[in-house]
Structure 1
Amino acid sequence: MTRSRVLRFTRRHVLATAAALASAAIAGPAAAQAYPAKPITFLVPFAAGSATDQLARALGTSITEETKQAVVVDNKAGASGMMAAQAAARAAADGYTVLITTNTTHAANEHLYKKLPYDPVKDFAPVTGLGKGGQVLVVKVDSPYKTVADLVAKAKKDSGKLSFGSGSSSSRVAGEMFKQLTSTEILHVPYKSNPNALTDLLGGQIDFMITDTATGVPQVKGGKLRALGVSTTKRIALLPEVPTIDEAGVKGYDMGYWFAAYVPAGTPAPVVERLRALLVNGTKSAAAKSFFDAGGSEAWTTTPDELTRFQAAESQKWGRIIKAAGIEAE
């Protein structure tokens, strides 16, 4: 190719790129102004009834009321949230597919699995944090274990005979951390989602689980489960009589969780900002407030940049916990 042809090609390429960027700059605000012009799909990595599902539905109700557009909640439970995260990563980058998720898919999984079908950083554009909460260690209401000390004593006496269930990475790591700090061997039983694990706990198939408060507290209040301890360093208002697991003798125990919203990488910034505003408003709605109050969690919102930094710090934290717990990547 001659030098003149190279120059002509380069000039055409530069002009075409400039035109595309200018067009995107013009279309961006217009697209955001029109957004949402059709129904939005919320992809949820856990089953109906899970804490993430409950929050997604509350936020969806708020967005529908504000925009008059439907929000469809699509529960893709299984594989520790990987199915939903993969589907979201592959969706069109137009703001109409939103991943309502937790630290499971965006901080823990990369340390629990050797190969992920998605990249928690490169495949997504952060939108906003949504909420934070703690977990609760629960047993059947007629269980012989009345305290955390009872559970630990049994686990030490009959090594490997007790079992705990989990339906999320938060719940799994909470149980593994319990094993590590109590120097016990307890069988882990995996489930697609925490409500599925609770069903087996109520049926006596497993001995205990450490689940998010939004899922566990209603069962405790309903008299079906007994709470032995909460995972955070402070007691929660919904269960003031229940000690922290640390207070109950497992020193250094502290394990919470968070919710956040992501869209596919490449989603126009004006659309991300419009969606963020809708979600932030949603966290203040009556439905969301009811969810946070009932589960002992709280609203927590961020800018996209703040969520990016927070996610990076959380990934490092979860990596340390998982390594210290001796969990081998699958």
Structure 2
Amino acid sequence: MRAFIYVMSLLLAGPALAQTYPEKNIRMIVPYPAGGSTDILARAILQPMTEILGKPIIIDNKSGAGGILGTTEAARSAPDGYTIVFGNLGPNALNASLYKKLAYDPIRDFVPISKVVEVPFLLVTAPSTGINSVADLIARGKKAETPLTYASVGVGSASHVTGELFARQAVIKMQHVPYRGGAPATTDTMAGVVSVYFITPLEGQSQIEAGTLKSIGISTRTRSSLFPNMPTINETVPGFEGVAWFGILAPAGTPAAIVSKLNDAVSRAVATPGVQETMKKLGVEAKASTPEAFAETIKTDIDKWAKVISEANIKLD
């Protein structure tokens, strides 16, 4: 009852709060370790958002359980605009189907503020495999006596379900090989231990440029302006698309006026030349959205990946 009264008081006072918000530092929970991909992307927008809002945004790395611990803490935080979370496809969409007992509900317990970036996957292989295109990969998969293998950063990860989706839509058998993180997955792909790997540009761009990995396709529906010469997997496997995203969310009950103010700050920050250039160098596309559009993305991806996860019988509890 006390929590209900607190939330109602915030809702009623929302417009007045937004006029003075923020009056103190804002905590942004990053549910992964410092120095990782999520942390790097979150920190890229801190300075411009701080300048726009007039108060510092402080990163609080709360890692553990594949993003669950930090995301749970964010869900249980006061809905006053002073705790937000830098979420992504995993904890805010995939986990809804991977766990029977999740400590938070990705829809019920959060209000989306804005998407920040979209991250494609590059389908890579070792030059030594002789696989030069998606068509080559599929042809080899159909002829192989034993399934081809694909690496991922772990069971239930975005790279795992993307590989599963590809195998199903390409109608070939592939064996999933999970690793404990991107570094060992990348190393074994370069060595030809596994056939292919759906890698993010943040992880694989330097190896591709060095020639130790070869990218044969990108997972976006249409060709990316960041990789204009890279054919899409969709050109060979019609309808294929697998894109991760990162964005900012607040606890459910955060006043709409504060959500609007935060959304404006994110949108303006993402549009700055500095953020655009930083994201481009990382191989990702900085792209803000309305809260409504971000909410629809989350719902659509929960439904899309739930089907893949169910058919592949992927479970984490």
Change (3 A) 1:302 1:150: closer
- Structure 2: which 5+ residue stretches go unaligned? none
Say if 2:288 is the partner of 1:288: no
Contact 1:137/1:230 (8 A) holds in 2: yes
Change (3 A) 1:97 1:206: farther
Match of 1:188 in 2: 177
Pairwise mapping of residues 164-175 of structure 1 onto structure 2 (< 5 A)?
Answer: 164-166=151-153, 169-175=157-163
Match of 2:293 in 1: 306
Pairwise CA distance, 1:176 = 0.7
Match of 1:9 in 2: none
Change (3 A) 1:134 1:40: same
Decide which of 279, 299, 312 is 1:326's aligned counterpart: 312
Secondary structure at 1:162 match in 2? strand
Pairwise CA distance, 1:171 = 1.7
Decide which of 257, 261, 265 is 1:278's aligned counterpart: 265
d(CA) in 2 for partners of 1:204, 1:96: 47
Pairwise CA distance, 1:78 = 5.0
d(CA) in 2 for partners of 1:128, 1:242: 28
Pairwise CA distance, 1:31 = 5.7
Pairwise CA distance, 1:98 = 1.6
Indicate the larger mover: 172-181 or 293-302: 293-302
Pairwise CA distance, 1:240 = 3.2
d(CA) in 2 for partners of 1:98, 1:20: 16
Match of 2:205 in 1: 217
Pairwise CA distance, 1:245 = 1.9
Any idea what the Cα deviations from partners look like across 1:84-104, whole Å, max 9, x if unmatched?
A: 311211223232322112222
Contact 1:177/1:321 (8 A) holds in 2: yes
Say if 2:230 is the partner of 1:242: yes
Secondary structure at 1:73 match in 2? strand
Pairwise CA distance, 1:189 = 0.2
Secondary structure at 1:138 match in 2? strand
Count of matched residue pairs: 310
Contact 1:166/1:211 (8 A) holds in 2: no
Contact 2:117/2:247 (8 A) holds in 1: yes
Decide which of 29, 43, 46 is 2:30's aligned counterpart: 43
Match of 1:131 in 2: 117
Pairwise CA distance, 1:262 = 0.6
CA RMSD of aligned residues (A): 3.3
Contact 2:25/2:58 (8 A) holds in 1: no
d(CA) in 2 for partners of 1:95, 1:322: 33
d(CA) in 2 for partners of 1:55, 1:32: 29
Pairwise CA distance, 1:185 = 2.8
Structure whose alpha-carbon radius of gyration is higher: 1
Counting aligned pairs with the same residue, the percent is: 30
Any idea what the Cα deviations from partners look like across 1:140-167, whole Å, max 9, x if unmatched?
A: 4555543334544555525256341235
Q: Normalising to structure 2: TM-score of the pair?
A: 0.81
Indicate the larger mover: 227-236 or 166-175: 166-175
Contact 2:124/2:213 (8 A) holds in 1: yes
Match of 1:65 in 2: 51
